Structure 1
Amino acid sequence: MILLVDAGNTNIVLGVHDGERYIASWRISSDGSKTSDEYSIQVMQLFSLSDINPKDIDGVIVSSVVPNIMHSLENMLRKCFSHEPIIVGPGIKTGINIKYDNPREVGADRIVNAVAAYEIYKKPVIIIDFGTATTFCAVRANGNYLGGCICPGIRISADALFERAAKLPRVELEVPKNIICKNTITSMQAGIIFGYIGQVEYIVKKMKEEMKKGNCNEEPFVIATGGLANLIAKETNIIDKVDSDLTLEGLKILYEKNKEQILDENRKFNL
């Protein structure tokens, strides 16, 4: 079994894969103030509740966009699972060609998603990851990662409206029945959600145009992932598929590509 860990700004997603299927997945809060012992208690409780023996974990792989939690997170993983975790970053084998000006600037989450989309779908893709930030990534069928763009996430946009406009309340992210609304709450919901949908549709349209100009003859397949993917996908036909496990799938693929490196690291640390 392998442990897959995706550390985002809001949540850390953990998944356990036994070679054929996911047997467990959990979300815990990302918190830079937590020690490795505090993370250990949380994670061991989750394993216990799911009746999984930590000693059955054969390897660990981590992607993270939150540098300040990595010291505690890595120490927790070493202590709990007796494996040196492999960290997605420079030097890892990906199987894709990153066409960024500086490939080291590409976030680990974007690399992991791109690897999964390339390996699974075998066609040009646009990946939208609805997280704390919303990222858009373009990948050609030959594995060239072309780049993309980064926007404030929908929750960030909603929070900014609440925090900066004194008389506006904090609202739940729900889709109202109409866009012409009769009260403040639904007016805010309409503006936030339908406005965000408009942003997504415009960005995807422009990305498709640029990919076609770059000799991409096949229509790019649009994949959405992340916590709010379903909310947006239900309201637009620009998204072809919601793949909630895309990041974990990418981590699993990267683990297989870098298995020997993991074994070497474990020998180095006598684990």
Structure 2
Amino acid sequence: MNLTIDIGNTFVKAALFSINKIIDSQTKPIAELDFFIKKIVKEFSVENIILSSVINHPQELDSFLASKYHFILLDHTTRLPFLNEYLSPETLGKDRIGAVAGACAEFANQNVLVIDAGTCIKYDFINSNNEYLGGAISPGIKMRYAALNNYTQKLPLLEPSSGFLELTGNSTIASIHSGVQLGAVAEVNEIINLYTEKHKNLAVILTGGDMLYLKPVMSGKNNIFADSFLIHKGLNHILKYNVDI
């Protein structure tokens, strides 16, 4: 059984795989990291583990896992199941690596654009030759709300709305929601259009904690897919690739 661990800024997410099938997934606050992971490996028959982290997590956990399991700490030196053409691989976010590997696993030998909506909105492209070429990073939805509040004196700090949004806001609050969320949707739609014009048979995958707010992007399109477990599928793909070598 494989265990994939994705440590973010606020939460740690873990998924258990039997070959390619997710049999369990859990999420806990980052403060519970050590207890959470040790509890999982005690309860399940884990053989192989991969850990991806965007923070400086305790190295004692790595040492513990490495002493008992086939353990991979994902970094820029890890063997990947795709050709990484990024010019600064040491600066490439591990979440982006996982997402691209997930795209590689789900849509082999196809042009794929991954859109990961989280703290930032990240765009990553892998072509049909299994070459990762890079992408783009723009402010996430919550970051856009925070920027309006931080860089003005009177605009309030709002939370994203999951309801219907009017294009023409008839109040300041409605105008902020329209500008931020519909603005993000417009950005994503245009990026998809640009990639579609340049690359044939393009598949688009939406993932990330804020992908809910980008659902209008999927309206009427059959080449766009939502996958909340894409990064874990990618981590499992990387893990299997290294175990099988």
Give the Cα–Cα distance (whole angstroms) in 2 for the partners of residues 106 and 44 of structure 1.
28
Give the Cα–Cα distance (whole angstroms) in 2 for the partners of residues 208 and 75 of structure 1.
45
RMSD value over aligned CA atoms? Answer: 2.5
Contact 1:78–1:84 (CA<8 Å) still a contact in 2? no
How many residue pairs end up in the alignment?
240
- TM-score (normalised: structure 1): 0.78
Give the Cα–Cα distance (whole angstroms) in 1 for the partners of residues 62 and 210 of structure 2.
28
Counterparts of 1:46-61 in structure 2, within 5 Å, are 47=40, 53-54=42-43, 56-61=45-50
| Residue in 1 that maps onto 2:185 | 197
Note the C-alpha offset of 1:43: 4.1
| Residue in 2 that maps onto 1:98 | 84
Note the C-alpha offset of 1:61: 0.2
2:93 maps to 1:75: no
Give 1:208's match in structure 2, choosing from 196, 203, 223. 196
Give the Cα–Cα distance (whole angstroms) in 1 for the partners of residues 38 and 140 of structure 2.
31
Per-residue deviation, residues 158-196 of structure 1 (Å, max 9, x unmatched): 122223323222222114441222233222211110011
Residues 244, 13 of structure 1: alpha-carbon distance in 2 compared, 3 angstrom cutoff: same
Per-residue deviation, residues 88-133 of structure 1 (Å, max 9, x unmatched): 2233221211122233332222122112212221210100011111
Note the C-alpha offset of 1:251: 0.8
Counterparts of 1:123-162 in structure 2, within 5 Å, are 123-162=110-149
Q: Which amino acid aligns with 1:141?
A: S
Q: Which amino acid aligns with 1:83?
A: Y
Secondary structure, aligned partner of 1:56:
coil
| Residue in 2 that maps onto 1:220 | 202
Counterparts of 1:228-243 in structure 2, within 5 Å, are 228-237=210-219, 240-243=224-227
Give the Cα–Cα distance (whole angstroms) in 1 for the partners of residues 122 and 71 of structure 2.
26
| Residue in 2 that maps onto 1:267 | none
- Aligned-pair identity in percent equals 26
Give the Cα–Cα distance (whole angstroms) in 2 for the partners of residues 206 and 190 of structure 1.
23
Give the Cα–Cα distance (whole angstroms) in 2 for the partners of residues 159 and 152 of structure 1.
10
| Residue in 2 that maps onto 1:264 | none
Q: Which amino acid aligns with 2:35?
A: I
Note the C-alpha offset of 1:147: 0.9
Contact 2:188–2:217 (CA<8 Å) still a contact in 1? no
| Residue in 1 that maps onto 2:168 | 180
Q: Which amino acid aligns with 1:154?
A: I
Give the Cα–Cα distance (whole angstroms) in 1 for the partners of residues 61 and 10 of structure 2.
19
| Residue in 1 that maps onto 2:35 | 41
Structure holding more strand per residue: 2
Give the Cα–Cα distance (whole angstroms) in 2 for the partners of residues 169 and 54 of structure 1.
46
Contact 2:3–2:46 (CA<8 Å) still a contact in 1? yes
Give the Cα–Cα distance (whole angstroms) in 1 for the partners of residues 75 and 85 of structure 2.
15
Where structure 1 has 5 or more consecutive residues not aligned to the other structure, the ranges are 262-271
Q: Which amino acid aligns with 2:181?
A: I
Q: Which amino acid aligns with 1:256?
A: K
Secondary structure, aligned partner of 2:33:
helix
2:229 maps to 1:245: yes
Contact 1:62–1:86 (CA<8 Å) still a contact in 2? yes
Where structure 2 has 5 or more consecutive residues not aligned to the other structure, the ranges are none
2:56 maps to 1:64: no
